[in-house]
Amino acid sequence: MTRPRKVLFVVSDGGRARLIRRKTGGSGYVTVEEIDNADTLRELKVRRQANPSGRVFESVGRLRHGIGTDDSARLAKETFVAGVADRAAALARREGLDEAYLAAPPALMGVLRDRLASQMTVCGTVNKDLTKVVDQDLGVWLDEARYHRASTD
């Protein structure tokens, strides 16, 4: 007889994250840890608005385009998600969880999956921001995790 898998659900976007487990002895989910990065992103937004990038006119028309790229918001979000992955792996080790199931927007899923896969088994993903979905409604998205099996690559 096989032992039931213990799965940690990592739900994240660039500003918030939740580490979630199934409720013991029943169906449903419970948030174990919440991580908030919204203040850092707000400060970054204020700095970017105080010092906007230069604008130039297009050579043929009246359209204007920004000069240079400011990837500071993207980098801040990717750094946050990498930190979330490290905290999730530490929690999984501490609580004896076997696998992780990830939910994040597509732009951040790669960073989260790559960072976490180097530390534990990732049994599945859903490309959706579920950070604001209440625990009672997570089953619509996360119940499919019980049917996923980790790949043997």
| pTM over 0.75, yes/no | yes
Q: State both tokens at 65.
A: 């385009």
Least confident of 15-24, 56-65, 109-118: 56-65
Tell me, yes or no, whether 40 lies in a domain: yes
Q: What percentage of the chain reaches a pLDDT higher than 70?
A: 78
Q: Please work out, in degrees rounded to the nearest 5, the angle formed at the alpha carbon of residue 139 by the alpha carbons of 28 and 110.
A: 120
Is there a contact between 96 and 6 (Cβ–Cβ < 8 Å)?
A: yes
Tell me, yes or no, whether 2 lies in a domain: no
State which residues form the domain around 46. Answer: 7-147
Total structural domains within the chain: 1
Tell me, yes or no, whether 44 lies in a domain: yes
Q: Residue 58's pLDDT is what?
A: 67
| Averaged pLDDT, 7-33 | 88
Give CA–CA dist 64/66, Å, rounded: 7
What DSSP state is assigned to residue 56? E
Q: Residue 114's pLDDT is what?
A: 94
Tell me: the pLDDT tens digits for 64-79? Answer: 666 666 677 788 888 8
Q: Residue 22's pLDDT is what?
A: 87
Residue 116: is its pLDDT beyond 70? yes
Q: For residue 30, give the CATH number of its domain.
A: 3.30.420.60
Tell me, yes or no, whether 1 lies in a domain: no
Q: Residue 3's pLDDT is what?
A: 58
Residue 102: is its pLDDT beyond 90? yes
